[in-house]
A = this chain, B = another copy of it.
Amino acid sequence: MTERPSLRERRRQETRSAISWAAIRLAVERGLAHVTIEDIATEAGVSPRTVNNYFSSKAEAIAARHHDRAQGIADLLRARPAGEPLWEAVTEAALARFEADRAESTPDPLWTQGVQLMIAEPALQGEFQKANVAAEIALAQAIADRTGTDAERDLHPVLVATAAGAAIRAAMVHWMRAEPPVSFSSVLRAAFGAVTVDLP
């Protein structure tokens, strides 16, 4: 998929990531209202103007991390065996995406708080949802490719992608307020299991 870690491009991604993390960290620590672009720039070690070169708003910088992750589900779907039933493949791709997180270096205590912030803060909700929609579009394209349909003209791939997004979001919300805490995988699997999308 992406096999050109051109030295320049890599640096670019590093900067992007640094800015996004800085934004998340500061927003979680002191609350969104008490973080300026300048604070983020200082924290990330770049100039304020550069922050706005990468992201067109403070909110977008914070949501960038979520955006990038969500996009990954489409890639994971493409990697599933071709014979696997569609909804099952989508389920497994989503599961895999979130299990990958757990294995990552950062066990994200911060990350969970970041997501919670995006859901709680009105100023962030929009950007959060935008990221979700963008991911669903990518997912719809992957589904269309897999089923030989056209994401531009057919309803089905879009519907399946959107339904998957719905299941993931519902699972997230439910998981975050679950008391006592439960495994996210199990919630996600239950959500996908409860929704069924008919084939054409």
B155 touches A187 (CB 8 A): yes
What is the 8 Å Cβ interface bit string for chain A, positions 143-172, against chain B (1 contact, 0 not)? Answer: 000000000110110110011011101110
Which of B153, B155, B169 lies in contact with A190, CB distance below 8 A? B155
A158 touches B174 (CB 8 A): yes
**A153 and B162 alpha carbons, distance in the complex (Å):** 23
**A129 and B162 alpha carbons, distance in the complex (Å):** 13
Indicate if A50 sits at the interface (CB-CB under 8 A). Answer: no
Count of chain A residues near B, Cβ 8 A: 37
Residues in B with CB closer than 8 Å to A163 are: 163, 166-167, 195
What is the 8 Å Cβ interface bit string for chain A, positions 1-16, against chain B (1 contact, 0 not)? Answer: 0000000000000000
Residues in B with CB closer than 8 Å to A159 are: 166-167, 170, 191, 194-195
Q: How far is the CB of A165 from chain B (nearest CB, A)?
A: 7
Q: How far is the CB of A131 from chain B (nearest CB, A)?
A: 10
Q: How far is the CB of A137 from chain B (nearest CB, A)?
A: 9
Which of B155, B170, B171, B190 lies in contact with A191, CB distance below 8 A? B155
